[in-house]
Structure 1
Amino acid sequence: MNLVKEGKFLKSEPKDFLLSVIGSSPYGIIALDYQGKIIMVNSLAMQYLGIEDEINSIADRSVYGYIQFLPELESILRSSLEKQQKSFDLELIPYNDNFFSFRGRLTHHGMIITIEDVTRLKEMETAVLNSMIEGQELERRRLAKEMHDGVGPLLSTIKMNIQKIESDIVELSPPIKEDFSAAYSLIDTVADEIRYISHHLLPKVIEDFGLSAGLESLCKRLDNTSKLEVYFYSSHPEERFDQMIELGLYRSGQELINNAVKHSDAKRIEVQLIKHADSLVLSIEDDGKGFDWKMLPGSGIGLANVETRVASLGGTCSIDTRIGQGVNVVMEIPLNSEKYE
């Protein structure tokens, strides 16, 4: 622990008490002057930042040499110290396989930064999200099964009964024939709609053939049935991934593509699934009218669902859009099996 004030140590007793308080704090603590030089640091802050130097050797060194791999923190810290007018809070920043929250508060002589390890909180949040999404999927499966095994056969029975009634009547007037024909057509329409809903509730292609096949099937179906041109590319079309990843990205892609079809006035949608060494990236881009976040009705519930699913997989989701310039959504999921065990 090193504690300096204007080049001089504080008087012994107050200094010892302050050192004891700061040393036993459950937070990492760093005090800086306005030039970003370290005035004080406790051992927990050094541990969190991965500083291996001796604690007494880093006084008067620039803090920026120790946070170069935390660009978001470095940027906001430089701005705050240079302007001497802005405190800050950074939540859930990933670093060295953990998550930290950083809080900076201006003082008369510089800034105090506190660091909290929130990895356990992040893990609990992810577990809650996963439980919620798993519950939704179970309900989807239940509904899909009931529609397929219950309503589907019931419609077939109704159609057979109508055919039997029609065959039992020797002569039918033209209006009645039209009514029978309309009934057949309506039953077929309802059956097709139930198959469509059941497929979306429980995408069998994902379970049987994987994420690439599921997304490609979705894109081809839209390409054949709408005025949109829907393009799909996968860097590893045959590769399978963790079931949670496949289902989560498929649901997210489904939501975003449907949003583009319904609301974007786009002429072209591009869907790309790219595997990197340690992550999987799904990007969906359209050339539609885009939108203004502030004017989005319902606070963007569909997009919020996508962000929730991606967060539950430990991933990130970036959305780039402006009015008249389309929408580009990029979701990146880490390929770390430990997250899904």
Structure 2
Amino acid sequence: MVTETQEGTSLILFIGMLGMFFLALAIVGFVIIYRRRLLKQQMKLQEQKIIHQQQLLQSAVKIQDDERKRFAADLHDEIGGGISTILLSVERIKKEQIDQPEIVSKSQNVRDQLNQLLNKVREISYNIMPPTLEDFGLNEAISDLCYSISESSKIHIDYEWNGDEKRLDFSQELALYRIIKETLVNAVKHSEAETIKITIENSTESFKLTIKDDGKGFNTETVQKGAGLRNIKDRALILGGLIDITSNVNSGTTIHVHLNKENV
């Protein structure tokens, strides 16, 4: 009788311990599942936050770009047109007073100054919103930009476009153009480079941009907060693209931008 009681007690203890084990296992499993779900929710919220930030940034930049476009048009048409009208008036006065050398000379001086001002207005308008980009696309706009910077500096720029020449969305082209322009301007100001190589690989699936110079380079750990790098990274973020900037002192700088078109 005692033996049966002991066996019953042992069985109860065994079943209890087994139940405790499965209960503990269930609790551990529940905690693991809960943590995984919590992690997924956190990741989802983080992704939504990034997407929301990107959308806000895109909206802000689009507003700025639209405003720049209007300003560039007004500058070119209104101010440039007004200067052109004054130039015609000065030229008419010059012809009417041809028998008065002093007036002719002063008119010529005014005409020369107005021409310089008109060229400056056109240059500013072009820099704000390059018409080549809107009319002919990114490839032609980059070609013009490289030629202009090469002519005004001692840096040789080697530019190569490979693959499809089908145009991207204008906002994407504008962001890429400004990334390239910002990079080239920074190189001219700071890199002391002799050569810059720009390569574009454009396919149906992706757009890859590589800009490499042979300049003095910099320490990426100490120059992360520079306005130029920040502008470049912000525009890459607007594109939804990946950007990688590598540089070492005395070893030049390389910038890679990768845009996955399938995710755009």
Q: TM-score range by the shorter chain?
A: 0.7 to 0.9
2:134 counterpart of 1:194: no
Match of 1:146 in 2: 74
> 1:146: how far off?
0.8
2:140 match: 213
Equivalent in 309, 333, 336 of residue 235 of structure 2: 309
Instruction: Report the structure, 1 or 2, having the larger helix content.
Output: 2
Give the superposition deviation at 1:272: 1.0
1:258 counterpart = 2:185? yes
Corresponding residue of 1:4 = none
Q: Determine which of 126, 134, 138 is the counterpart of 2:62.
A: 134
C-alpha displacement of 1:244 = 2.7
Letter in 1 for 2:229: L
CA RMSD of aligned residues (A): 2.9
Structure 2 counterpart of 1:166, one-letter code: K
TM-aligned CA distance change 1:178 to 1:246, over 3 Å: same
Question: Residues 168 and 280 of structure 1: is their aligned pair in 2 closer, same or farther, counting only changes over 3 Å?
Answer: same
Q: Which amino acid aligns with 2:100?
A: E
Q: Within 2, Cα distance between the matches of 1:183 and 1:10? A: 99
Tell me which of 208, 218, 222 is aligned to 1:281. Answer: 208
* CA displacement 1:88-123 (0-9 Å, x = unmatched): xxxxxxxxxxxx9xxxxxxxxxxxxxx633322222
Q: TM-score, normalised by structure 2?
A: 0.80
Change in CA separation of 1:181 and 1:265 when aligned onto 2, cut-off 3 Å? farther
The Cα of 1:305 is off from its aligned counterpart by 1.0
Larger relative contact order (C-alpha < 8 A, sep ≥ 6)? Answer: 2
Q: Does structure 2 retain, via aligned residues, the 8 Å contact 1:318–1:329? A: yes
The match for 1:231 is 158
Shift of 1:227: 2.4
Alignment partners' CA distance in 2, 1:262 and 1:9:
74
Q: In 2, are the aligned partners of 1:212 and 1:273 still within 8 Å (CA)?
A: no
Aligned to 1:123: 51
Q: For each residue in 1:101-151, what CA deviation from the matched residue of structure 2 results, as whole angstroms up to 9, or x when unmatched?
A: xxxxxxxxxxxxxx6333222221221121111111111111111101110
2:131 corresponds to 1:204: yes
Percent identity, please. Answer: 27
1:300 counterpart letter in structure 2: G
Q: 1:9 to 1:125 in 2, by over 3 A?
A: farther
- Distance of aligned partners of 1:159 and 1:284 in 2 relative to their CA distance in 1, 3 Å threshold: same
**1:29-72 deviation digits (Å, cap 9, x = unpaired):** xxxxxxxxxxxxxx676xx6xxxxxxxxxxxxxxxxxxxxxxxx
The gaps in structure 1 that reach 5 residues or longer are 1-7, 29-42, 49-99, 101-114
**Distance in 1 between the 2:19 and 2:192 partners?**
67
**SS of residue matched to 1:235:** strand
Larger radius of gyration: 2
Structure 2 match to 1:103:
none
Count residues in correspondence: 245
TM-score by length of 1: 0.63
User: How many Å apart are 1:19 and its aligned residue?
Assistant: 5.2
Q: For residues 282-335 of structure 1, what are the alpha-carbon distances to aligned partners after superposition, in whole Å with 9 as ceiling and x for unaligned? A: 111222222234554x93112111111111221111111122222211111111
**Residues 213 and 237 of structure 1 are in contact (CA less than 8 Å); yes or no, is this contact kept in structure 2?**
no
Structure holding more strand per residue: 1
